[in-house]
Structure 1
Amino acid sequence: MVSTRALSLLLVALLFSVQVVQNKADWGVTYTTAKICASNGSTVEMKCTYTYPAGYTVKEEFWCFQDDKDLKGNLDYKDRIQYNCTEKSCTMKMADLKWTDSREYRFRFITDKTEGKYTGVPGITLSITALQVEVTKIRVNESCTKAELKCKSSCTGDVSYVWLKNGKEVTEENPYITSLQFNDSICCALKGQGKYCSASLYAPKLPSVSVSPSAEIVEGSSVTLTCSSDANPAANYTWYKEGGQTPLSITKQLSFPSIQSSDSGVYNCTAENELGIRKSKHLLINVKYAPKLPSVSVSPSAEIVEGSSVTLTCSSDANPAANYTWYKEGLFLAWAPDGVHHFTSISPENRGNYSCKSENQYGQINSSPVFINVQYPPKLPSVSVSPSAEIVEGRSVTLTCSSDANPAASYTWYKEDEPLPVGPEGVHHFTSISSEDRGNYFCKSENQYGQINSSPVFINVQYAPKLLSVSVSPSAEIVEGSSVTLTCSSDANPAAKYTWYKENGHATLSEEQTLFFRSIQSSDSGQYYCITVKSLELKCSGYKFIDVKYAPKLPSVSVSPSAEIVEGSSVTLTCSSDANPEAKYTWYKEGEDSPKTSGHNFTISNIGAEHSGSYYCVAHNNRGTHNSTLQLTVVAGAWKVTAAGVTFAVLLSIIALSVFLWIWKRRSSKELSQPGNRAGNREQKQPQDQEDLQYASIHFPQIQADPLYSSIRGTQSHIHMKEQEVTEYTAVRFKRDDGALR
């Protein structure tokens, strides 16, 4: 069975996921949602569609409460709502939501017929909520606070929130884990309503402290110190007195019902909430009390600053009233019938002990002395450097700053406007000064009445050369003939002197900081370095390789074998050239457009007469080209001449033999064709035919002239003549023994 709780949860889910439809017959209103939750001051939209039977015409459409009256007639709504109604749909936009807007809203339409009125019931329930950020987990560090925050509201169902950090949306996570700095503030809002945020959470701001009364504090009077800080959640406060670790009070106010002189001192407070803690500035409490017998007071009773107006007042319980005389350091100063001595513009020279004498006809008594401490801002500081002579790297150096001031000044040393660690009594000490400490220094003298900077003093730290390096200009590819500069540089004070060398060379190339090549050559390629010497300490730079690029020089060409080139042999042509980057080679034969081959070598495996001629190779790289020519002559070998003679002799022998056999056969055929030779010779006919077949099977090889000897005209003419002679004999007729013509 399904539990009651499960049914309740299912019902809630259906309320937010299923459209609400109210209808009666063909009348109905469909709302896009049953409930809307929004923040105070935000804007919402309520949407619906509606249906009605045919034959009716809608005359009015509006949103209302249970009283079915148009909200636009309500003074509280007419300026905050807008309708956007089209055929069978209507949207109401409501702005500047108030707490009183939390209620049910319905849509109503009226047709042209009396009974044609309809209100969608139930309508849309609008809930106005206040968002609240809840801190669920937190860890406070000195630099920041890491917190887990959860956004809470009175909205029910599936509600989406967005988080805003310092006014910018950052995430939709809920809960949200983040790191907060002291100045960060964070809030949450309903999704889509980012500008209507919850109250922001933030750590306490710098607490402010005040004292009441703010005027002179007299012994025995009531004094209240108040600490306040802007924070959310609200801060808790704790009061401390300087030098004490125990809290004086854990309330916002620290009260003294009857303050005593022993309560004088420096006070501060801390403001703390769960997002962080901040400490206030110091508050000085200076309790004044009257001396017994005559009492002496100074006005103002607080600090006396140079140039201010100061009044000394002596009072005594006396009757009749006393007459008064003022003294400074025991010496007569002035008569003061009313006990008052006035300084119109007090100066540091007025600093000292003052006392008054109260007297009447019954006697006199001196007051205890009162010290007038004239306070003034620092005068122009004086600075000194020790040692005052030359400052060398690694030595101990002390900077001292002093200034006339009351109260005593505090000092801060600066290097080029960057503050240095604070030292005791205006001193900044370098245990082992370095080249990085070279520069202008000045000190600032200050107290609560003002501040003043000293004139700058230059600390010139001298040191041997270091970080020796070599640079080349131009830094791109170096081309033969161009201008090139090598520069040697180092960190040194005073400036170093340099000497230039080339690797494996002992000669000095230059004693300047730069080594200049007006028109660099390929021979200048190599490793360069510079050195500097100071105080018997030698520094050497690393090598800098100068790689000079240049076009191929005139190529050198050769043939192997270098002796007479004989037909049929293997020959290799070789080409080489000095170039940077390394050259590539292409071989050509004069008179031909297409290259023969690419590479250093061109090999002809079975050379013939047709290979004779001029060859040239082209050496090329990205800087240019250069070429050289080679003449190649091919001669016939002895074996070739001998072979030609043998071939000619065999050819003549074969021709002669052929002619002889042909003539013999013609004669034999003629004899056999005579009448006396035909009879009785049939037995011999078969052998004769066999003999003819034997001759028919003789094949003579074709004799081709070697291309190298195509110029031997005499032999060809002779052979042609023999062929003509044979042709002439084709007209001769012979008879065989059997009398047949052949």
Structure 2
Amino acid sequence: MMGLREAASCFVIFLLSVSGQGHSGLMKPVPGLSIMMFLVCLWRISSKLVQGEDPWGVRCTPTQICAVKGSKVQIRCSYWHPSRIDDLDVAVEKTFWFTKVQDGQPVDLRSASEYTGRVKYDCGNKACTLTITDLRDSDSDVYQFRFTTNQPTGSLTGSPGVSLSVTGVQVLTTKISACKTYDCSWSHVECQTSCSPTPSPSYIWYKNGQKTSGEKSYTAYFYSRDSISCAVRGHEDFPSAPVCVHGNSCNRVNYIDRNICAFKGSSVDISCSYSSHYNPITSKSWLVAEREDVQLHRPQAVDLLNDPEFTARVQVLDPEPGRSTLRIMNLRLSDSAQYRFTFKWKWFEWNRSFPGTTLTVTDPDVQVICSPIGPTLTCHSSCLLSGRPSFVWFKNGREIHGETSPTFRGFLHPENNYSCAYEHHHSSPVYAPKVPLVQLSQPGDILKDSSVSLTCSSDANPPPAYTWYKENQTLLNRAAQLVFSSILLSDSGEYYCTAENALGKTTSKRVLINVKYAPKPPSVSVSPSGKIMEGSSVTLTCSSDANPAANYTWYKRSGDKQVQPTASGQNFTITDITAEHGGKYQCEAQNTHGRSNTTLHLTVGAGAWKSAVTGTTTALLLVVILLTVFLWIRRNKSFTQQRECGERPEDRAQIPAAAHTRPAEQHHEVHYASVCFTQNRADDLYSNIGRVQPQRETEEDEEEAEYSAVRFDSATGTRREEEGDDSSAVYSTVTKH
């Protein structure tokens, strides 16, 4: 499958390299690059073919097997498949072997009546071994292994399969010459098989039951008492029937069955036929081979009639001359062993090394096998007793009369259960799946990004195959468990599963998965939109995606601090809004799984009357600013004139001498007043100057003279000190506090 896809891609690359351009000639490849890609592609395919890296495959080794009739054979195959397809895990649902195809479908060997009780599967770790016991000539066939997965196209049959040849071993004798003095002959014997069980087989020979080595053939003297038998080395327990080389009355033993299987607690008969060259036979006995001898400290054959473990449970029957039967009752698992018959004459004993009958004791394991091709039931046991097996079938615990074959041929109803019995041992009932139960991996809310699994279980026999679906019949997975490693919001929905086996199909109830998550960052809006004026109404709306639905709380923020909740609910309405309502508002969305918030800045504009007042205030403020600037300029100009006036020292009045004659300790600070007049000033100016008196230290300091130095400029520029009635004189009155 994978090889074909890669071969097709390599062919496309080859065409592009030959044409020398890409699609519609829009992209021209780099010279030599396409050829290089083509070669790399071929190398990858060849590497995968050599290394066996095809994602689907079956390999059986060896592909040809030869086995001896009566023995058992094991056929082993390994298989592989992709671990995931389309993000779904691939799981193997069925593994079985077949040789025949019926109605276009392979028939499981366990369902074929000719193999009932003789086949066993041992499957695991991507390998499966088929074991067939008590091989027959009819078992020669081609055996194929098949496995099916939970994928619609995920089935594969190993091809060409394993060819099994069952061969019988027999001795061919050729008389060369007769002895002159004795009852014997010079004869050639050959061990013949229809195929070679091993590449270079060797052989074991038994003369009068005594094991000897030898080649495939040899020549020797044989007497009339001698019998000869051979076996392929490695299959010594399945020798050929002993034959007389010279005459017809040789000593020999021939077992009716080489293998017998029986249930624990039941009884079994082991029989053989024998003949003796000498008469009469003095004794005969049944032995259990290779029991540990306590005194000899080596394996030793033990006479069952003298063994305490068997004395009360065995009988030796002689139904007719030349025939003996060993009956073992109340079988135990420890009774599994090889049982041999021996007889004695005065000077002869049949050798105990000759293989006998192998008994296998097992627990009852009767079971009903459902055919993968349809509702067909087969009663199966890994152990079938000798003789023609007889089966009994039951429906809902009641016997179905007339059904005695291993395969049930009646109508199967999905509401009934069926079972079978063999030798009074009942199988477990088989039935269609009950209504499946769906279980979540965790109780409570399912949170986004968490790990969640759904498990489908149903009571059914044989175990059912499970399939998962979502709402619209979308096939999700073919397994008992549906796993979400990190569940998404899109995974929310209804899920159900089906359980199906060969007897029917049922569907579970739907289970709702509701993925929960914390609120996402909210989105906020203002209505009406546009400029918000004082006196109007405004609605703030907050919305957030959350499951379950979020609860909303509004906060008014002061700087970076959040004050007490202002309102709750998705909508927050402010009526008769004022400038104080402006600022930052925070909307918080919260549910049981978390919280999230968003901040909105609200700006409130003034109304019409407020705008007029604001305009008037602005105009007045402008007038005040202009007036202040004007006064500041005049003040600077006056200050400049004073400085110019003070620059004439000759016009300053002298400070009376008395002011300088006061003691230093009583003369704190002298404050002077300088008055400067412009030349064109005609009016008299009076100046009363006062100061805040600091705290007196002594009473002697209570009276301190305050002087005022007055200077003026006359119109003529002449100072008159003598005239006391000068109309231009300026007086300065000093007031003390």
Instruction: With a CA cutoff of 8 Å and minimum separation of 6, indicate the structure with the bigger relative contact order.
Output: 2
- TM-score normalised per structure 2: 0.32
